Amino acid sequence: MQPREIINTTEFNLIIKRLAFQLIENHTDFQDTVLIGLQSKGVYLAERLKKVLLEIKPDLNLEVGYLDITFFRDDFRRTTKPLLANETKIDFIIEGKKVVLIDDVLFTGRTIRAGLDAMLAFGRPDLVELLVLIDRRYKRHLPIQPSYVGKIVDSITSEKVNVEWKEMEGEDKVLMYSSEN
């Protein structure tokens, strides 16, 4: 069975634009705000948001970091997930800053839990918000809720939601794979 397209390119870009405006609404000039994308796919979203934010407000001084959570996972030795870490690139101190953590899909919440933990190595932020493109609600293992959501998707555990990026797969879209695939 073919995967079902749940967000097409037009919708995708509208959603990103809306998220950017929502960020501006809350953070105005981003004076004390930093964006941190979670490796690997959250990084694409963070970079795309940065691009859109700069189109809206070209004089914005925006800091974007990448955070890898591999060593902070709670399923080490319990999973076949890759052990190999990605690059963490945070060239600023987050002490006293407002941090917007960014990931593509929020599912169980365990990645975000690890992200919160990993982030503390770079200081104590004043405030942490969570921005996700897709929120697979009702599937949370932890009490974690996003502050900004692109789209809420109802799905069952065996289904898989995959965000594709122009930079990687050639087209911006979100696909849902059902369990038969």
Partner 1 sequence: MQTLSVDHLLGIKDLTKADIDLIFSTADEFKDVINRPIKKVPSLRDITIANLFFENSTRTKLSFELAEKRLSADVINFASGSSSVKKGETLVDTVNNILSMKVDMVVMRHPNPGAHQFLSRNIDAKIVNAGDGAHEHPTQALLDSFSIREKLGEVGGKKVVIVGDILHSRVALSNIYALQKQGAEVMVCGPATLIPKYISSLGVKVEHNLQKALAWCDVANMLRIQLERQDSKFFPSIREYTMQYGLTMDHLKNLDKEIIVMHPGPINRGVEITSEVADSHQSIILNQVENGVAVRMAVLYLLASKINR
Question: Whole-number minimum distance, CB 147 to partner 1, in Å?
Answer: 25
Answer yes or no whether residue 5 interacts with partner 1 by CB under 8 A. no
Quick check: 56 binds partner 1 (CB under 8 A)? no
- CA dist 94 and 175 (Å) reads 34
Residue 142 is a binding residue for partner 1 (CB under 8 A): no
For residues 105 and 136, the answer to whether their CB atoms sit within 8 Å is yes
84-to-39, 101, 156 alpha-carbon distances in Å: 12, 21, 28
Please report whether residue 76 would count as binding partner 1 according to CB under 8 A: yes
The interface region with partner 1, picked from 12-20, 65-73, 104-112, 157-165 by CB under 8 A, is 65-73
Minimum CB–partner distance for residue 40 and partner 1 (Å): 13
Which of 121, 142, 152, 168 touches partner 1 by CB under 8 A?
A: 121
Strands (E), the chain: 4-7, 33-38, 63-67, 98-106, 127-136, 148-153, 160-164, 173-177
- How distant is the alpha carbon of residue 102 from its chain centre? 3
Nearest to partner 1 of 65, 150 (CB atom): 65
Among 58, 82, 143, 170, binds partner 1 (CB under 8 A): 82
Confirm or reject binding of residue 124 to partner 1 (CB under 8 A): no
Provide the β-strand partners of residue 98.
33, 127
91 touching partner 1, by CB under 8 A: no
In angstroms, rounded to a whole number, what is the distance separating the alpha carbons of residues 38 and 48? 13
Which DSSP letter does residue 71 get?
G
Q: Does 117 bind partner 1 (CB under 8 A)?
A: yes
18 contacts 181 by C-beta, under 8 angstroms: no
Question: Quick check: 111 binds partner 1 (CB under 8 A)?
Answer: no
**Of the listed pieces 63-71, 96-104, 148-156, 167-175, which binds partner 1 according to CB under 8 A?**
63-71
The stretch near partner 1 (CB under 8 A) out of 54-62, 71-79, 131-139, 156-164 is 71-79
Residues in Cβ contact with 177 at an 8 Å cutoff, skipping those fewer than 6 apart: 3, 159, 160, 161, 162
Residues in touch with partner 1 (CB under 8 A): 68, 70-73, 76-78, 80-88, 117-118, 120-123
